[in-house]
Structure 1
């Protein structure tokens, strides 16, 4: 196909760019202008240009449908792997020939933004939290929940043109193609803790948060209901765990529990050094506990029948050993004490109540050390429940605890 036979992409590129910006508008991600340099800027690498030239010569009819069904996905993958803005250029060329494919091709072009830019992926994560938790004033996501996270699809049949796409749908379409996933756990952990702060303050001035009080209507923290805040914290933790599991599966979850979380607790966090106390610190600990247990449940299952449970004892045992060692004073922690207390009590409570099979897989001596640490915090009931699930080997320690409690 000679160059003179190519349709000019510049005529359609501005329309593609406009619709990509609209699709990404909910995420706050901006893209460089595609047509800023005129038609001379619309260039493709030779292999991709040859493939486009080959496919675009076929008529769109039943005779060539089989070939296009094979070549189409290959063309999309090849364009997505090429530097930005190759896929938008391909979309601008193809949409001139097949206008009914406009929505699909433009949406595919918008996905490539995340394949070449880690910062864009982080912004997408942030948009997912904002939408799900209703932390934004945007009318699309102000109510939060799964509806705001996943939206109602995409296409030009909405609102007279392509509508902004919900961040959850965008991530479901791009997560398999993200090349570097090593940074994901740290970013999601940071966004989870940031979301907890937003939930705690809930639009109130920072100086309005005072001591936690118990009223006849339940626990309140200043003007914030503790029960309502915990509901949103659980939602944030569920979203964080889902994103980690989707992004990296078993390997990423094991890295989180074995390395990322212990490193986070050991590190000194600036916001907590500045006096972050009370509700924010406590909710942060509970959020991390739900986050860790949900990640483990996704990866390993909650009983002994799951195939992935074969890897569970080693990673889980390492994490519980870290908890016990910190309670013994063998490890210095940099996080807020209220965060640590809430995390340990929350993590153990979830294991006892939701994943008792996990407790049976932990070394008995480690369980006894963890139980002693809980007793030092006056968490006798939780310590006894932990030993009660530990099996025959922990019955003696459980009996001693009961006797000491009666005395």
Structure 2
């Protein structure tokens, strides 16, 4: 069905297009395929056109508005799944009927871009991290990402949440020439770790909001081990102290994974989702123990790997001690012996101490070895 079946939206479509471009451009995202114009007329798929034709004929009064409340989310979902520029066409039509909805319609149409362009999602993730960490010399990212989330359009958008990002690893922080936006040497290790922790917190939040429990469990059980065993380009910048950036990367990953886990399972066993925790956690710690034993070859930087294990165990024993009994005593023993070889005796003892009765013999053996 052609858009011309209703009062012509052409002029309003051009205005909506410019507003959408302004919102998206403010986020630092460049989407070349955004242009709506062209020689061929803008079209809507038949099911979507039929639904729009039905709803747009409603007389907007208190009696009919409740139907729009029910149909509206369905119309949005259907439009998001249809080819671009369906959502801008709908926005241009509805904005003519109800001018006070213009900002909301522009906002909804702007989000649709990220359902059709994976590159736009990657760019948006970079903007989110850059804005959160304060790495940009300009405030364009801060203002732009806020605009995409609905800030500046009015308080009625405060409950809207962007749910398009799909992972943490798509954003790679550039640490080779600068550290966190400042010349190298002007940031202490403590300040750097705070920035890293902030980035990991944002990453975990995005993963949880976008994929929920299934994405978190897939990340810990499959994605993360694959990342560790795959080869990565080594850092060759002589201006960096050897291993510092790799160590920070391991710390970031550990904080990110533990935070993802707490979102998904909770810190104890009161959440219904906590019943799924033992299987995933056992699989992950079995992988860690096997790699520490030398049974699995790793492709990542050794300092990253060591930092990840040390911080993961530190966070687990210090913040989520109820997780430890979920892991087999033999795995805890192997991991603890690896930590002891790295001169982390206290951390090794803390891990075994939380392992329950099954880990007591291993803890006793460790005490004897340390005493000897």
Q: TM-score, normalised by structure 1?
A: 0.81
Cα–Cα, structure 1 residues 46 and 343, in superposed 2: closer, same or farther, change >3 Å?
same
Cα pair 2:136 2:181 within 8 Å, conserved: no
- Give the match's secondary structure for 2:44: coil
Task: Output the CA distance in 1 between the equivalents of 2:340 and 2:95.
Answer: 68
Aligned to 1:36: 37
Cα pair 2:3 2:43 within 8 Å, conserved: no
Cα pair 2:110 2:148 within 8 Å, conserved: no
Aligned to 1:26: 27
Q: CA offset at residue 255 of structure 1?
A: 1.0
Cα–Cα, structure 1 residues 367 and 174, in superposed 2: closer, same or farther, change >3 Å?
closer
Task: Output the CA distance in 2 between the equivalents of 1:297 and 1:381.
Answer: 24
Q: CA offset at residue 196 of structure 1?
A: 7.1
Aligned to 1:197: 175
Task: Output the CA distance in 2 between the equivalents of 1:315 and 1:35.
Answer: 46
Cα pair 2:176 2:237 within 8 Å, conserved: no
Report matched runs for 1:55-134 at 5 Å.
55-134=55-134
Q: CA offset at residue 382 of structure 1?
A: 0.9
- What RMSD, in angstroms, separates the aligned Cα atoms of the two structures? 3.0
Cα pair 1:9 1:92 within 8 Å, conserved: yes
Q: CA offset at residue 119 of structure 1?
A: 2.0
Task: Output the CA distance in 2 between the equivalents of 1:45 and 1:26.
Answer: 29
Aligned to 1:382: 347
Q: CA offset at residue 61 of structure 1?
A: 3.0
Task: Output the CA distance in 1 between the equivalents of 2:275 and 2:63.
Answer: 51
For structure 2, list consecutive stretches of 5 or more residues without a partner in the other structure: none
Task: Output the CA distance in 1 between the equivalents of 2:327 and 2:134.
Answer: 39
Moved more, 64-73 or 369-378: 64-73
From 225, 243, 264, the equivalent of 2:206 is 243
Cα pair 2:200 2:252 within 8 Å, conserved: yes
Q: Does 2:171 match 1:227?
A: no
Cα–Cα, structure 1 residues 284 and 148, in superposed 2: closer, same or farther, change >3 Å?
farther
Aligned to 2:151: 153
Report matched runs for 1:326-337 at 5 Å.
326-337=291-302
Q: CA offset at residue 201 of structure 1?
A: 1.7
- Give the match's secondary structure for 1:15: helix
Instruction: State the structure with bigger RCO (CA 8 A, min sep 6), 1 or 2.
Output: 2
Aligned to 2:233: 270
Report matched runs for 1:264-343 at 5 Å.
264-272=227-235, 277-343=242-308
Q: CA offset at residue 368 of structure 1?
A: 0.8
Matched pairs, number: 367
Cα–Cα, structure 1 residues 18 and 2, in superposed 2: closer, same or farther, change >3 Å?
closer
Q: TM-score, normalised by structure 2?
A: 0.88
Task: Output the CA distance in 2 between the equivalents of 1:57 and 1:395.
Answer: 73
Task: Output the CA distance in 1 between the equivalents of 2:194 and 2:311.
Answer: 14
Cα–Cα, structure 1 residues 236 and 401, in superposed 2: closer, same or farther, change >3 Å?
same
1:134-179: CA deviation from partner (whole Å, max 9, x where unpaired)? 1222325569xxx969977232x69xxxxxx9xx987x2444xx8x
Q: Does 2:345 match 1:367?
A: no
